Structure 1
């Protein structure tokens, strides 16, 4: 019996990942326990349906009792997975079903950080409008803005910076602000945007460096120096 259940569980998870709605529906309606059975990564059917962006399947699973905020073995919830994968409609659905926006996984990362890091700017906007904490810091002290700025994800940055709850000068565990990271990576568009929103240019990180000192690029240095005039 245990072997049969393991095979069924594997097939259901795989079917959710592939979006096989009818197969999943048939299995779940005949064995509701499949909703909460985990695979070897601690993931349930809903995690895989969210990962694949299968909105109808996600809705079915939640309606039939799948826990919306179940975390896997490293703390990833279905909302984190959908946010990271760019599954906009699934994100909307999960939030509508009460998913917690500010849950952090084992690395301290939240849904907003994943969306900002990959520049899923529509999802960034949805999360913010529904009350996501812009200033949550991961275990390295980084915020969603740190991640977006370091990759020059300007569209996501715009959504974050337009919210008056954003603390754009927060320092990570190395003392770096988003401006430090943007300068280090020579992200000129990100630097310009941060400066326009009032990023401080004189903050020292733990290496006693200002954002200006993080880069030798003439264009970066010109932006910083001009903003200080």
Structure 2
């Protein structure tokens, strides 16, 4: 009787410490930003690309929570910046959209897949520009990302800066960054309306001036 109980207890302990059992523990630790626990679980063999019910990996959850140390620990352990969730986010795409500059910097040496698109058909640069994430945009521009990629709305990063931005200092900065990097200043939307025309319609004089200086018409 005692032997049977001991065997059952031992089996239960073994199951609790297997990589499969460590999957939810790793995801929970990453979501909460418990970097030391993440390091321990990864070293014990927890599957780094395990996903929760929404397809979110531990690294994606670390990005969402802006848990920089945790994200770096996962990347150092070999976690992929390309694992796509059910909503089509990847850690790389989400880091761009949320302006997680420190995490983007840590991802760059891992050569993220720049061809993966978000649910709007965009790359990491477009939402970073739209939201005026200046430091994130600076880093994204070093990755070889497509400056003139057109998303499912028919908009480039420059068009999103103008159409969805406020024309303020941050959007002026990101507009200058992408234009200086070589973004096409005249690439129009599906209705043939150029970035310059949109900027003028919205009274974004500073942004319009930047587009004009870059040769946009």
Does the pair score TM above 0.5? yes
Per-residue deviation, residues 146-198 of structure 1 (Å, max 9, x unmatched): 111221210000101112x3211112223222223223332222122212222
What's 1:28 paired with?
42
Specify the SS of the correspondent of 1:129: coil
Find out whether 1:124 has 2:124 as its counterpart: no
Q: Does the Cα contact within 8 Å between 1:116 and 1:156 map onto a contact in 2?
A: yes
Query: CA separation in 1, counterparts of 2:190 and 2:24?
Result: 40
Is the CA contact 2:199–2:205 (under 8 Å) kept in the aligned structure 1?
yes
Contact 1:36–1:66 under 8 Å retained in 2: yes
CA distance in structure 2 between the partners assigned to 1:177 and 1:9 by the alignment: 48
Residues 84, 111 of structure 1: 8 Å contact kept: yes
Residues 179 and 62 (structure 1 numbering): CA distance in 2 closer, same or farther, change over 3 Å? same
Change (3 A) 1:49 1:182: same
Q: Does 1:170 align with 2:187?
A: yes
Task: State the alpha-carbon separation in 2 of the partners of residues 101 and 196 from structure 1.
Answer: 29
Who wins on radius of gyration, i.e. which is larger?
Answer: 2
Task: Answer whether contact 2:49 2:83 (CA < 8 A) is retained.
Answer: no
CA RMSD of aligned residues (A): 2.4
* Alignment gaps of 5+ in structure 2: 1-11
TM-score by length of 1: 0.76
Counterpart CA distance in 2 for 1:176 and 1:12 is 48
The aligned length equals 196
Partner of residue 207, structure 1 = none
Matching of residues 65-214 of structure 1 within 5 Å: 65-150=78-163, 151=165, 152=167, 153-163=171-181, 165-200=182-217
